Structure 1
Amino acid sequence: MKQLSTLLAAALFSLSAGAAEHGTPDEAISLINKTAAYLADEGADKTFFEISNPKGRFIHRDLYIVIYDRHGKVMAHGAIPRLAGINVLDYRDEDDKLFVREILDKASKGQQGPVDYKWVHPLTRQLQAKSAWFRQVGSYVITCGTYK
């Protein structure tokens, strides 16, 4: 888990190095809704490809999209595209919280967040509180997280 946190921090650092401020919950939700509309219009393959583009339409400052299937498999990851295809259902944060499982459980009940957990911040590289916002769209859960 710590190795994944380090990989994510390095990838996010490159995405957000020039960010003057961090993304807000409203911006995260807007990015999720934008992704949902794109998914409906363009289909899964094109959406997953675009999410993996580091200069694409689904990166905004330190915000990026991750899409899971209902079983916890990463379908697309805006910060670490190579996680696509990996099941992360049982990933835990530094406090041993099963945050992906909680996101998927809440999404299946129509909730949209937040799920709070701890993750390495991309700029400070320090463990920090983070909130995940999400929305279930068909058989996928679209997520975007903000740091507190």
Structure 2
Amino acid sequence: MVEKWLRSVAVAVCVAAPALAMAQERGTAEEAVALVKKGAAFYKANGKEKLAAEINSRSPMFQEKDLYLFMSPAAGGALIAHGANAKMVGKTLGDMRDVDGVNFVQKFRDVANSKEGKGWVDYKWPNAKTGQLEQKSTYIERVDDVYLAAGIYKGK
């Protein structure tokens, strides 16, 4: 009887362990905000070009768990830096939409150019770590003429 119970517990642990590991690797909303604020402080101390170089080099300073920082002009235009996909840098993404038709890049600019200059945008995006399409919520904050952003994946 005890042996059967131990086997059941062992199976449960084996099944649950990957899910728990994945949950621990996901960034939180608080961590996303902190990453953006860290980027803003670096920007103010070192300038836009140095921040872009750090982000584009995938510096661990601007990546945590599944979070990464990206930077774009608040007025629109080519993406300046992206911590997960260097191929996006230099591309104008203004009309980019998710699978549900949400023009999330325009929403990023709307938030950046709002009175508060910061906030959250929800959309669907492939998880940079898993490649799976997931719900994502991205925190945006304007700094001078750009916005910095980092998003959390919420699952499917």
5+ residue gaps, structure 2 = 1-21
Match of 1:32 in 2: 36
Hey, what's the Cα distance between the residues in 1 that align with 2:91 and 2:29?
26
Q: Which of the pair has more CA radius of gyration?
A: 2
**% of aligned pairs identical?**
36
Structure in which a larger fraction of residues adopt helix: 2
Aligned length, in residue pairs = 132
Letter of the structure 1 residue corresponding to residue 38 of structure 2: K
Change (3 A) 1:145 1:43: same
TM-score, normalised relative to structure 2? 0.78
What is the aligned counterpart of 1:61 among 52, 60, 65? 65
Q: Which amino acid aligns with 2:65?
A: R
Q: 1:80 aligns with which of 82, 85, 108?
A: 85
Structure 1 length-normalised TM: 0.82
Q: Decide whether the 8 Å contact of 1:72 with 1:104 is kept in 2.
A: no
Structure 1 residue 124 displacement after superposition: 4.2
Q: Which ranges in structure 1 are unaligned for 5 or more consecutive residues?
A: 1-17
User: Which residue of the partner structure matches residue 107 of structure 1?
Assistant: 112
Q: Give the match's secondary structure for 1:145.
A: strand
- Per-residue deviation, 1:19: 8.2
Aligned-CA RMSD value? 1.9
Per-residue deviation, 1:58: 0.3
Distance 1:124 1:47, change over 3 A: closer
